[in-house]
Amino acid sequence: MRNALTIDVEDYFHVSAFEKAVDPGLWDSLPQRALRNTNHVLDLLDRWGLRATFFTLGWVAKRHPELVRRMASAGHEVACHGYSHKRITTLNPRAFRDDIQRSRRLLQDLSGQPVNGYRAPSYTITQDTIWALDVLIEEGFTYDSSIFPINHDIYGMPGSQRFPHTITREGGVIEEFPPTTYQVEVMGRRVNLPVAGGGYLRLLPATWVSGAFRRLNDSGKPCVLYFHPWEIDPAQPRIRATARSRFRHYLNLDSTESKLRHLFSSLRFTTMSSVLFGTVAHV
């Protein structure tokens, strides 16, 4: 069973945890770490012989076009993460369409490959923004990985399907590959525990994550792992923000790369398209 390996390419100051602490108008004046960190990720994947899907922010691609060219030339899949890391919950349909069109055109021009996949900043396709799927279908995207089946203060759609499936809308269909969750029992209730990566990977032991992936794989379910290049950069500049935001962002940065190496050595990974279109069950 192969799992989807995905990287959300953005810089440390783009994250939603810092949106109230960092004015987007000042992004260009901050120390840039995306080029260094993403090249390090690409080197790491080269050493392990892995191919991945890079959900790339248009803002980063515009400033570092060589990154997108390197992804494509190395056989990785380039996908869309929007342009300016604006959460969909802050956009209307027209602004969302403009954002993904701008990013997708740039990524396709730089990579020389079609960009068919999308992941929303901070997984913000929710019940209130489900209209975003209609825009993605109209724009020709074939798959999405934005609907997180958990409760969260920023994102999440509790009760949604946990594994790859086809979503049918009035204007067509789109394949959905949700971030992976593992069900555990808490006080007699089944709860979806996020194990897909990001802050959850930094919080949980790598052996626990790999064990959850293996058990899901053994039951015939493919999983998705995601992380950000800034998560393997413990030396990144520190942003003055709330204690909660600092905890979310800086927790265990020094151990992320070793956890990734453990997962790479114990599980099988490839691009999201390779997994999705070989396994999706139409419902």
Domains of the chain, residue spans: 3-279
Four-way CATH pick for 3-279: 3.20.20.370, 3.30.465.10, 1.10.10.60, 3.40.50.2300: 3.20.20.370
Instruction: Summarize the confidence of residues 273-283 as an average pLDDT.
Output: 67
List, for residues 21-66, the tens digit of each pLDDT value: 999 999 999 999 999 999 999 999 999 999 999 999 999 999 999 9
- Whether residue 124 contacts residue 86, with contact meaning beta carbons closer than 8 Å, is answered with no
Cα of 180 vs its chain's centroid, Å? 11
pLDDT in tens, 100-143: 999 999 999 999 999 999 999 999 999 999 999 999 999 999 99
Place of tokens 């899949």: 77
Cross-strand partners of 143: 117, 175
159 confidence band (pLDDT: 50, 70, 90): confident
DSSP run (H or E) holding 168: strand 165-169
Q: Is 251 helix (H, G, I), strand (E, B) or coil?
A: coil
How far is C-alpha 135 from the geometric centre of its chain's CA atoms? 19
Strands 181-186 and 189-194: antiparallel
90, 128 contact by CB (below 8 A)? no
The closest alpha carbon to 56, from 64, 47, 48, belongs to 64
